[in-house]
Homo-oligomer: A and B are copies of this chain.
Amino acid sequence: MDIHQYMHTLGRQARAASRLIAAASTKAKNTALTAMASEIRKRRAALIAANGKDLAAARAAGIDQAMLDRLTLTEKGVDSMAAGLEQVAALPDPVGEISDVRQRPSGIQVGKMRVPLGVIGIIYEARPNVTADAAALCLKAGNAAILRGGSEAIECNRQIATCVHAGLGAAKLPKSAIQVVNTTDRAAVGELITMPEYVDIIVPRGGKGLIARISSESRVPVIKHLDGNCHIYIDDEADPAKIVPIVENAKTQRYGTCNTAETLLVACHAAKSALPAVAAMLAAKGVEMRCCAKSLALLSAAKIANAKLVSASEEDWHEEFLAPIIAIKIVSGLDEAIAHINAYSSAHTEAIITENHSNAMRFLREVDSSSVMVNASTRFADGFEYGLGAEIGISTNKIHARGPVGLEGLTSQKWIVFGNGEIRS
Residues of A bordering B, CB below 8 Å:
19, 22-23, 96, 102, 104, 106, 108, 110, 113, 115, 117-118, 200-201, 216, 219, 221, 239, 241-242, 245-246, 248-250, 253, 339, 342, 351, 362, 364-366, 368-377, 379-382, 385-387, 397-400, 402-404, 412-424
Contacts and interface: CB of A to CB of B under 8 A. Distances in A.
Contacts of A381: 415
B374 A417 contact: yes
Contacts of A219: 216
Contact of A375 (B23, B399, B422, B424): B422
A366 B21 CA distance: 10
A414 B118 contact: no
Protomer copies: 2
A22, A362, A414 — most chain B CB neighbours (10 Å): A414
Contact of A372 (B351, B375, B412, B417): B417
Nearest to A338: B19
Given A201-B398, A370-B415, A423 B364 contact: no
A424 B380 contact: yes
- Nearest first, the 6 A-B pairs at minimum CB distance are A376-B419, A249-B423, A242-B421, A373-B417, A379-B424, A375-B419
7 contacts: A115-B365, A117-B398, A117-B399, A250-B423, A253-B423, A372-B416, A399-B412
A337 to B, nearest CB: 13
A124 to B, nearest CB: 20
Given A399-B400, A412-B399, A412-B402, A365 B417 contact: no
Nearest to A221: B399
A403 B415 contact: yes
B376 A19 contact: no
Nearest to A219: B216
Contact of A385 (B106, B117, B399): B106
